[in-house]
A and B are shown apart, each in its own frame.
Chain A
Amino acid sequence: MSTPMVRIGAVAHKEFRHLWRDRRLLAIVLALPIMQLLLFSYAISFDVKDIPTVMIDQDRTSMSRHYVSTYTSSGFFEVVGQTSNVNDVDGIFARGEASVAVVVPAGFGEDLAAERKPQVAVLVDGSDPNAARIGSAYATALNATYGQQLTAAWANRQGLDPSSAGVIEPRLRTWYNPDRISSIFLIPGLIVAIIAIVAVQQTAVTLVRERDLGTQEQLMVSPLKSWELMVGKLLPWTLLAFLDIVVIVALGRVVFDLPMRGSLSFLALAAALFVFCSLAMGLIISAIAPSIEVANIVGLMLAFLPSFLLSGLAFPLGSVPTVLNWFSYLFPARHMVTISRGVFLKGAGFAELWPQFGWLCVYAVVAIAIAVVVTKKKARS
């Protein structure tokens, strides 16, 4: 007589051999998290710098040249071209050659020498709102500073002291991630997205595949109980999901200097709960989906998209419409991202994160219960 453990082991062994035979799939599943890590750590930056800028200096005096040089030296703007005609700007923007144009009209130097207020214009291409918002803020600040210097020099000559009015000086402190390195911010969230992809999508598809190929019935007539079959089938993907987590955390710690300020065991516990939620979700999808294509798309819609967009991984959820904000709480990914980031960056533990942890527990219980019910129903029909 075989025990449940032996039978589960046999299924898991079979599943592993499937995976091992499908080297390409295995390679992709293992390479995917590494590629994501590299992409998100190296390519994404929330800072905007070196905005391509074209200079239209119609004054051509030493004063206008000095004014123009402040853009280059600020580091935010990169002068990519010069032109003398303002009408060229439309073409330059339309071709995407530059996204900021600075116009210094003739008479700039003369006005300055006569202590008047010369006009300058900064044109910003609004078709990339992120870059445009930051570009116009930098330009405004740069001009304000330049203007203040002029005013201060004048006030000095007049014997006035504007600073005697008392000024407030902002002292900026960025907690947890003082250099605002985007990889440090993104990697804790990426772990969640990767679990969602591997655990939900893969389990959903593997189970439907068995049914599609007709091997499901063969397994049903074996002495396997249906829960043993499920556990055995899910085991390899659970291990792979954990392997992916370990790879990402290790790479993050070693290559990207990701700090680990909280308790690793608390994180591991939460991650395990999240993996169970995801596996249960995969099971539910597989029970409902009639074909691999459907399982695939439902997996994309319920795991891939929400874990990237509704979890707070890269996009803050504070300014989204309230309905959507509430909706995001329906997905365990949102709580897991909060936990992961809290543990890695803030050193938070159960005391701070108990609400999120509690929600994960609730999800795990509910999702597993639903999964058991629907798979039983499916097996009977």
Chain B
Amino acid sequence: MSGKRIRLLMWKEFLQLRRDPLLIRLILLMPVMQLVLFGYVVAADVKNLPTAIVDLDRTSVSRTIGQSFSASDYFKVVAHPASDADLRELIDTGKVAVAVVIEEGTTDRLARGQSAPLGIVVDGSDSSSATAGSGYASQIVASINKQRLTESGMGARLAQAPGLDARVRVLYNPTLASLNTMIPGLVAVILMISLMVVLSQAVVRERESGTLEQMFVTPIQRTEYLIGKVAPYLLLAIAQLMLVAIVGLLWFKVPFHGAPLVALTGVALFMLSAIGLGLLVSLISSTRQQAQQAVLFLMLPFMVLSGFIFPISSMPDAIKPVTYAIPLRYALDVLRGAAVKGAGFADLAVPLLALSGFGIVIFTGAVIATRRKLS
């Protein structure tokens, strides 16, 4: 093992990187783009749903019902179609995602003390808007009913009725801002994507252009080659990591409640897995195109099954066991636990151990495979 040879190889890699200045710029631009896309698109909480109000009753009562919808943040009333048929066209063209239909005779029924149906139509071709819209609409209807009851004169007597004083309290992230969990998770995802994308190309490229054999007629050893090859990209990944952390803390103002050391330990252990997987792909593939497709192929299940975007708890029971095989899952547990919940080493022992297990197995696997393949 010679430090000088490793340094020389690293120098060569850096020179090669410098000859492709566009690549470095892109490697640093990509996390910024991901931050913007995930921070603003995926973490966007559904509100201002374009809404149509079909008022077939046309009384002061029906207007109040309409107003309680337009007054809320969740609905933005954009149309007042005169009939159900006009509504169909608005939803077909996607101009409206939610519609409130106040039937004729609503006021009369309410005055007679009957229950009046209120139609709430949601566009099921957009699942998350549909789920959010119907939930918010039920909340608004419940508050209208409560209001009516208080104004009815029975309010004073009913206030003495027994009931339940339930307090629902959200811990750690009381504003429920999706951003606060999205950004810590994004640190792990960006690290995984860039390490895997870049490292998967590293060895294949030299093999494809035939410089790999030249390399091995030099006195360099396999381990030295590996270290010299990985180190420059590791430094780049750390630069990306710092960029994401700084933008997350300063621009998106994501709070960090825990100990940085816990998060860094998790990141370091997770890097072992990401580097190992990148190298393995690079060794198995015979062309760069193959390597690139293989990385894409691996990345999707990682993103979907890790719970990065879609909560694991709502996955079907048959899928849940598969998520335990995804290292990213544990990295997310550690980073989110440390950032959002302020969890320490003791709380995160299980995911940290899992990450070390994956890291050791995948990384040594990659090292052994490299030595075999290259000799």
Contact = CB atoms under 8 A, between A and B. Distances in A.
Contacts of B310: 43-46
B20 A294 contact: yes
Interface stretch (B6-14, B23-31, B235-243): B23-31
Nearest to A155: B161
A309 B41 contact: yes
Interface string B108-145: 01111111111111111111111100110111011011
Interface stretch (A3-11, A126-134, A224-232, A239-247): A126-134
Contact of B300 (A39, A306, A324): A39
Contacts of A155: 158, 161
Interface stretch (B44-52, B212-220, B221-229, B264-272): B44-52
Contacts of B122: 172-175
Interface string A160-174: 101111111111111
Given A31-B297, A43-B315, A294 B145 contact: no
Given A162-B158, A180-B130, A185-B127, A47 B314 contact: yes
Interface stretch (A146-154, A276-284, A359-367): A146-154
Contacts of B65: 168
Given A48-B311, A50-B313, A338 B347 contact: no
Interface stretch (A248-256, A267-275, A314-322, A368-376): A314-322
B148 A51 contact: no
Q: Is the interface of A mostly helix, strand, loop or mixed?
A: helix
A112 interface: yes
A342 to B, nearest CB: 7
Given A35-B297, A167-B115, A185 B124 contact: yes
Nearest to A154: B161
B167 interface: yes
Contacts of B344: 94
A297 B44 CA distance: 26
A169 B117 contact: yes
A220 interface: no
A301 B110 CA distance: 56
A291 B23 contact: yes
A117 interface: yes
Size range of the interface on A?
Answer: 35 or more
B296 interface: yes
B38 to A, nearest CB: 7
B342 to A, nearest CB: 8
B38 A309 contact: yes
Contacts of A164: 113, 152
A348 B315 contact: no
A201 B34 CA distance: 18
A44 B178 contact: no
B41 A315 contact: yes
Contacts of A24: 285-286, 290
Contact of B171 (A25, A49, A126, A305): A126
B176 interface: yes
Interface residues of B, number: 126
B261 interface: no
A93 B109 contact: no
A58 interface: no
A115 B159 CA distance: 12
B42 interface: yes
B78 to A, nearest CB: 11
Nearest to B109: A166
A127 B254 CA distance: 12
A357 interface: no
A151 B121 CA distance: 31
Interface string A109-142: 0001001111111111111111111101101110
A297 to B, nearest CB: 5
Contacts of A134: 135
B163 interface: yes
Contacts of A36: 300
Contact of A320 (B20, B34, B40, B178): B40
A150 B162 contact: yes
10 contacts: A35-B297, A129-B180, A131-B313, A144-B166, A171-B120, A173-B122, A177-B124, A292-B292, A318-B97, A346-B92
Interface of B: 20, 22-23, 26-27, 29-30, 33-34, 36-38, 40-42, 44-50, 65, 89, 91-94, 97, 106, 109-131, 134-135, 137-139, 141-142, 144-145, 148-149, 152, 154, 157-158, 161-174, 176-178, 180-181, 197-198, 201, 205, 285-290, 292-294, 296-297, 300-301, 304-305, 309-311, 313-316, 318-319, 333, 336-337, 340-344, 347-348, 350
Interface of A: 22, 24-25, 28-29, 31-32, 35-36, 39-40, 42-52, 91, 93-96, 99, 112, 115-134, 136-137, 139-141, 143-144, 146-148, 150-151, 154-155, 158, 160, 162-178, 180, 182, 185-186, 197, 201-202, 205-206, 209, 289-294, 296-298, 300-301, 304-306, 309-310, 312, 314-321, 324, 338, 341-342, 345-346, 348, 352-353
4 closest A-B pairs by beta carbon, nearest first, are: A126-B173, A177-B124, A143-B166, A166-B110
